[in-house]
A and B are shown apart, each in its own frame.
Chain A
Amino acid sequence: MDDVLSSEVVIIGGGVIGAAAAYFLCKEGAEVMIVEAEDLTAGASGACDGFLSLQTKQIGSHLDLTLESMALLPGIIEDLDIDPEYNPCGGLMLATNQDQLKELKARAKKVKAAGLEIEILGTQELKEMLPEVSKEIKGAAYCPSDAQINPIAFTLGMAQKAQGMGAKIIKGCKVENIVVTNNRVREVHTTAGSIHSRRVICAAGTGSNEIGKMIIVDIPVMPQKGQILVTEARERMLDRIVSGAEYLGTKANLDELLPKDEDAIRLGLGFTAEQTVSGNILIGSTREFAGFDKETTPEAMNAIAKNAINYLPWIKNLDVIRSFAGLRPYSPDGLPIMGPVKGVKGFYMATGHSGDGICLAAITGKLMSELVLDGETSIDISPFSLYRFK
């Protein structure tokens, strides 16, 4: 690549966040280039679940942001040429004991006050909704607005649409340096040459910390590994996305809902299950800090399988055909890191989405487009500023 490339906006990272940003920017007529080190969905967006779960969000700005994101989804999906297998199926969160149920009730109250519909189900009602749930389950929180999506198809769909509107996608192209002069981004150096650009969005997922170093800013994103089991494809068996209360405990760091077992705590074990359109059931998951290692481990697979049987006993008869692990772009408080950086004009962060990037992609893309093109956003993004960590 000898020609000097240039673009009005360069997006680093071809995951769900980069694709969403490209999609919204192109809608506004911006000239966009996505630079991806490997392939689209090579990162977390290609190795995750497809939960669009409102009830697992932290109450406050996190939940509000998710509500905004979910509201945008139907419009985007309508617009895509690839079917992202969006399914507004509702979500169940199961309690294995009375304490958990009590906690879910208390939480439901607060969540309702924040504008989210949620219902607490007793064992009888739960049985009607999920007939083959374990007898040990004491009840559940049901959120009708929870949904599921195929994250790979969703990402590809948005990327393809952006491409149709003129976006360039450069694969196998790793960003190695960012040139800043007079406090402004000027150029992006990549393994495929230099790109002139005055606006750069960092949507590099777990690669964001490295990107930050290039402009001497500490972006506190680290990889948090999640392992998942995949079962054989079967007829429709699970109509809703299902999780355990401990999953919420682990995810949102709620002491009252953390697992009791030491190994489970160490692995960050929390039960999730969803059936994809192709019929496979994805069973999750763990939250581990193991650097950039993406291997699955016998220990975690064993723990995930055992745990799942506690919630859905029939699941034990299914064949597991595969396992995989993905790396969440984890931020210290689990909230995304979005917005500009002090002293480096033209550099914007859209990262740190932790375990919620699929859910938050739509709104993140829209906010990035507003921020980059208008310099301001339609909703307050100060809760997601990098500087909250000081």
Chain B
Amino acid sequence: MQGKTGSESWQEVWDKSVNGPRALIDCWQEIPCDPCQEACAQGSIVLSSGICAPPALHAETCNGCGKCVAICPGMAIFLVDRSIGSGLARVTVPYEMRDEIRLGGEAWAVDGEGNYLAEGRITRVSGAGRPGRTMLLTIEVPEEWALKVRGVRGRRKLLEEPEEVEAIEAVEDFAFCRCEEIDYSRLREIITQGEFRSLPALRRFSRAGLGYCQGRFCQSILRSQFLADCPEEDREVESFRVRAPVRPVKLSRLGGEDG
């Protein structure tokens, strides 16, 4: 996935991030959306040609405060910080689940589709005490992954190792898709019945990831569980088709009226 802010601006962010955190914008949907611009007190984010335009970042003035990361409803902004040196980088991502991620603990950095990238230490958790607000997590990973990280997941290996999964399942179930209230156990039941062979079909049948958040919070679980449970020879690993709007938008705005 290429940021619509363009590789040039990513290069700039990368260069400037040796001085401290800078915002990495990976927003590419042409939809009416602009809270990032409003949130930035530095005036570092500009939507040059109207509300549907891609946001552009001035890495020069960005101070890495992270306001834009927390506000972006599309979860499309991250912070990259290379100031710690020694081949490591800190990446800050928005996070909405309130489970098992602990400051100082180990976690997995994943890409936009929930694929495992690297293991890392959580060095900062902010906003955890405010229910309903997006939390920001900072994870320390080898520098080479820094631009790819889009999310963080608990290291509870339930997603890859079936024996442990059974054990965990017995003690706790959880609504892994909170919008559609689909329990983890139900997901596994649907997968193991195996009436389909692709992720989009799993989503159609289970309705997981079809709720208000559009799978932003659950699709990595959906994907890993699918990979873990669906026999390899049968499956088709096709990504979800990302369709506008990337985040909920008032119908009136979509219709070009004032909201």
Which residues of A are in contact with B by a Cβ distance under 8 Å? 38-42, 46, 152, 156, 160, 171-172, 229, 231-233, 278, 283, 294-296, 298, 301-302, 305-306, 308-309, 315-324
Contact = CB atoms under 8 A, between A and B. Distances in A.
B255 A308 contact: yes
Interface of B: 30-31, 52, 179-180, 195-198, 200-201, 204-205, 207, 210-212, 214, 234, 236, 241, 243-245, 248-252, 254-257, 259
21 contacts: A38-B197, A39-B196, A39-B198, A42-B200, A46-B201, A152-B205, A171-B196, A232-B248, A233-B211, A233-B212, A302-B256, A308-B251, A308-B255, A309-B251, A309-B257, A316-B250, A316-B257, A317-B252, A319-B251, A320-B245, A322-B245
B20 to A, nearest CB: 36
Among A283, A306, A308, the most chain B Cβ lie within 10 Å of the Cβ of A306
Contact of A40 (B31, B195, B256): B195
Given A40-B201, A306-B257, 19 more contacts: A39-B200, A40-B195, A41-B201, A152-B205, A156-B195, A171-B234, A172-B197, A229-B251, A229-B254, A233-B179, A298-B52, A301-B244, A305-B252, A306-B255, A306-B256, A315-B251, A316-B255, A323-B244, A324-B243
A316 B250 CA distance: 7
Given A152-B205, A156-B205, A302-B254, A39 B249 contact: no
A321 B254 CA distance: 11
Contacts of B234: 171-172
Among A172, A278, A322, the most chain B Cβ lie within 10 Å of the Cβ of A322
A322 B210 contact: yes
A319 B248 contact: yes
A319 B249 contact: yes
A171 B255 CA distance: 39
A136 to B, nearest CB: 15
B171 to A, nearest CB: 30
Contacts of A46: 201, 204
Nearest to B252: A316
Contacts of A317: 250-252
Given A308-B255, A321-B245, A152 B204 contact: yes
A39 B250 contact: no
A70 B144 CA distance: 60
Contacts of B198: 38-39, 42
B255 A309 contact: yes
A306 B259 CA distance: 12
B250 A296 contact: no
Contact of A298 (B30, B196, B207, B212): B30
B251 A305 contact: yes
B252 A296 contact: no
Contact of B251 (A38, A40, A233, A318): A318
Contacts of A318: 250-251
Contacts of A315: 251
A81 B212 CA distance: 28
A257 to B, nearest CB: 22
A365 to B, nearest CB: 20
B254 A305 contact: yes
B255 A322 contact: no
A171 B180 contact: no
A382 B254 CA distance: 45
Contacts of B256: 302, 305-306
B204 A41 contact: yes
B201 A320 contact: no
B252 A309 contact: yes
Contacts of B252: 305, 309, 316-317
